[in-house]
Structure 1
């Protein structure tokens, strides 16, 4: 499993779906928002939690189609499906590789980008916490969409349509956690909901993704 994780990390970086692509897109989103809503600091601070989470979500979406595509093209996915290791474990390792190369850099860079949106000082720690809790769910849900569309030509648009509705609960509670933290309100409910969503997704979705891969490889 560790060898598979190392291989996927190298492939993700070489294929251009690693650190640079997601961070560049995230920066573009954050930079363009002030042009659309105006440079007034109060407005930017109020919408910053939602914009930062939306930018992170879309940045994660960019590289989802590559999770299984390269393995499908060179026949590696067939070998992984018939290997003695559980296919659910393979899916989990691919989701972890995607999170390390896409989600984790966003967690690190988000506080820096938050400065551009005049994010309030009390919200920075909650921004990091919410992204640490929520972005793993984005990667795992992304593997499900990638598994459903593996082998389809130009399946990127279909993948986005399938995955985006599944991202909505994570987006809602992630942004709400930051907003409540910034205003000094109680954060237990969005924190527990966000953690519960991520835990449930990690526990259930790899089995659904593995089943979808088996169906597509028949």
Structure 2
């Protein structure tokens, strides 16, 4: 088959996935260890803790998990509007606008004291939702940068199919997913190590990783394939 070459943004590059996934893992470790044992990204965990506190009659504690959940939903909704309004912009990609907003939110969180943990978790959940909604595919593969459950399922399913069919392309895709999972774990490990020493400002490390991804998206790359990375 002939392969068509063209220039496109790095919106789906594996290198960009590394920056975003490192930040995603870091944020979860940071929010859990520094912001009252609430998950910035793992909303499933927040739903479990919300249900547990409601069942025990701890309504005030339940709010600590309900508000981040609502912020996540709002983040997805707002991102949909950003994509609708800004997708025709030529000078900057709409995903870069979203990433810039996420960076600003995380920098803001770093200035918030422990007394504002609930507000900090709300901002982080909102930022996470923007990232989830904007970056859903890398190198043609559906992939999450802020959670692992879907990536684990896809990786193992592809590995099984590879062992059945011996199709090396399936093996490559499977390793792609496992690599992203490893990067997420590395981000979480870094977050767990540095957060106790840096405190609230540790989130700026995640913001720096996102800045790297933001800068990377200005780079044009020559890609082989039949679908544009927009």
Superposition TM-score, scaled by structure 2 size:
0.35
Greater fraction helix: 1
Greater fraction strand: 2
Q: Which has the higher contact order (CA 8 A, sep 6+)?
A: 2
Superposition TM-score, scaled by structure 1 size:
0.36
